[in-house]
Amino acid sequence: MVSDPRWCPTDGLVRQLAVEFGTPLYAIDEASFRSKIRDYRASFLKFDAGAVLTFASKANSVVGVLRIAHSEGCLIDCASEGELRAALMAGVPAKDCHLHGNNKSRSELDFAIDQEIGQIVADNREELELILDAASGAEVVLRLAPGVLPITNEKISTGQSDTKFGFSIDDGDAERAVKFCIDSGLNLVGFHCHVGSQLLDPEAQIAAGQILAEFARSMHDRYGFDVKILNVGGGRAVSYTDEQPVPLDEYNDRLVGGVRVALEGSGLRPVLVQEPGRSLIAEAGVTIYQVGVVKDVARSGGGRRRFVVVDGGLADNPRPALYGARYGIIGVSGDGRELGELSPATVSGRHCEVDQLFEDVDLPNDLRAGDFVAVLTTGAYSSSMASNYNRYPRPMTVLVREDGRFSVLQRAENFEEMLSREVLPEDLK
């Protein structure tokens, strides 16, 4: 039997966290997060002794999370100046960061260059010209579109030919970008791709890695370019409900093997890089809500529906609304009583939308106001994508330490902070 990779806190711990810190609440288990990084790095290094793991901070850019990832040997992938500033605040040297983004501004590039960023992952010709104009010696990696369509939600698929990301290999843009870098004297060091995320099967990432390697080989043959970096992105799936991703060793063995076969006989030995985010942090996180209302209503087509309404929703986890994302969920009594048998319920949020977080999930049939709902596998993208919709302050993030202590990583936003950006012109007062 395969053990559940998700952190699932005990009922007592859920109550303790909720009572001490309030709800909604993001909680991260330090031991689980560190373990997942160590396991991923050890597996990757088993198949390539020089491999490098980079944490995709878009998944969770809380400063304490970035500090832990770096302390465990990860470089930090930043998709914006804000994410780079968060990494710097975490004490991560800029040389250990990569700047991504498909529409970087001149000021964003200037900031990264001034900080002596490790690598700039360039997305388009205009960006290359900005880097050239800045007279920067920064290492440049070209993001390429390998023309691979993965099996995943279309909204998180990014490697196909008609994507907004990167230089297309198919139509010659990638080769033209290489020639521009060589002719202009830019410090081109390698190539990058990312085909998408929540990949249950590694075939798309393996295919993209092979295409990247074959492209590097052709650039060596045509222009003498000696590739130093091949970054094959991230995307390995996690278990939200009953998903079973390919085992980590099999995933890395096939990925590394595919790239090495494509490079065989070329004399090229680039450093292989992966940049997982979700697969390192998602399963180490839980979101805790308090139940406010339980309603039993008639369905339009007959039958009844039980609504369990919680004190969060669309603003603190938009993924169900964006992608139809589903999660593992547990009900926890607020007073320590034993809860009854499970029956279908729809967990809804408090926002002025349909805001159905989780439709037709099994929860105790006697769940009531004051009880709690803990949502598993929320370490990735919940905090990063949180908003102030309906003017709700964003939740706190708490780290459950390896020794059982709690540390606040991010304070809950208050109303004063949320409204601090507002300006009321004198003539409107």
How do the pLDDT tens digits run along the chain, 429 residues long? 457 899 999 999 999 999 999 999 999 999 999 999 999 999 999 999 999 999 999 999 999 999 999 999 999 999 999 999 999 999 999 999 999 999 999 999 999 999 999 999 999 999 999 999 997 889 999 999 887 654 444 444 444 445 676 899 999 999 999 999 999 999 999 999 988 878 887 788 888 899 999 999 999 999 999 999 999 999 899 999 988 899 999 999 999 999 999 999 999 999 999 999 999 999 999 999 999 999 999 988 888 999 999 999 999 999 999 988 999 999 999 999 999 999 999 999 999 888 889 999 999 999 999 999 999 999 999 999 999 999 999 999 999 999 999 999 999 999 999 999 999 999 999
Q: Is residue 182 part of a domain?
A: yes
Answer whether the bond into residue 24 is a cis peptide, omega within 30°. yes
Same domain for 54 and 167: yes
CA distance 242 to 406: 29
Same domain for 306 and 261: no
Same domain for 338 and 366: yes
The CATH number given to whatever domain includes residue 344 is 2.40.37.10
CA distance 290 to 335: 12
Q: Is residue 427 part of a domain?
A: no
The CATH number given to whatever domain includes residue 114 is 3.20.20.10
Token output for 155: 């909204």
CA distance 219 to 235: 26
Q: Which residues contact 385 (CB under 8 A, 6 or more apart)?
A: 317, 318, 319
Q: Is residue 13 part of a domain?
A: no
Out of 280, 314, 329, a domain closes at 280
User: pTM of the full predicted structure?
Assistant: 0.94
Q: Which residues are catalytic?
A: 352
Q: pLDDT value at position 409?
A: 98
Q: pLDDT value at position 150?
A: 44
Q: Which residues contact 53 (CB under 8 A, 6 or more apart)?
A: 37, 40, 41, 44, 73, 74, 75, 273, 274, 275, 276
* Radius of gyration for the chain, computed over Cα atoms and rounded to the nearest angstrom: 23
Helix, strand, coil shares of the chain, percent, nearest 5, are 35, 25, 40
| Coil/strand/helix, residue 251 | helix
Q: Is residue 118 part of a domain?
A: yes
Q: Is residue 319 part of a domain?
A: yes
Out of 218, 249, 280, a domain closes at 280
Q: Is residue 41 part of a domain?
A: yes
Token output for 128: 């290359």
Range of the domain at 62: 30-280
Same domain for 290 and 275: no
Domain count, the chain: 2
Token output for 344: 């279908």
